[in-house]
Structure 1
């Protein structure tokens, strides 16, 4: 039976709590690629370098896949914000 996952992105704060780390650790891991739970984009372009995290370039949007987070950690996100 296929698991059902909510649509949308798991908040960075929730992923940070699951890993027991802070939000910047999660963001850096997604951007660097060693935390394979989502993607980081700015203006529609993938962000893959920590050097690009500088806020002067504009806001980075993070998408964290509920399914990938579950596969990596066993934590099933049910849509909660915190």
Structure 2
């Protein structure tokens, strides 16, 4: 069986949304609320884990989406593209 090679870095939210056939906000909400276990959301180094914390008045949220976790959940291998 061949080994899967993943690109380095975070899968863009827009790419993950296309893979799931959903809106980017669906992906962001799923990561924050924990029902989409493909990455994490942070603001100023602290995890964001509640929907109420997604308010933009608190500052920007950074999303990290793991290429391996996305592959495990969907079978999609991300090769570093910004759009699909």
Bin the TM-score by the shorter chain.
over 0.9
Contiguous gaps of at least 5 residues in structure 2? none
C-alpha distance after superposition, 1:25-62 (max 9, x if no partner): 00000000000000000000000001000000000000
1: CA distance between counterparts of 2:76 and 2:6? 11
> What's the counterpart of residue 79 of structure 1?
80
**What SS does the aligned partner of 2:40 have?**
strand
4+ residue segments displaced more than 6 Å: none
**Could you say what the CA RMSD is over the residues aligned between the two structures, in angstroms?**
0.8
> What's the counterpart of residue 10 of structure 1?
11
1:26 equivalenced with 2:35 (yes/no): no
TM-score (norm 1): 0.97
Task: Quote the offset at 1:3 in angstroms.
Answer: 2.2
Task: Quote the offset at 1:2 in angstroms.
Answer: 3.9
Contiguous gaps of at least 5 residues in structure 1? none
How many residue pairs match? The answer is 82
> What's the counterpart of residue 55 of structure 2?
54
Deviates more, 1:3-12 or 1:62-71: 3-12
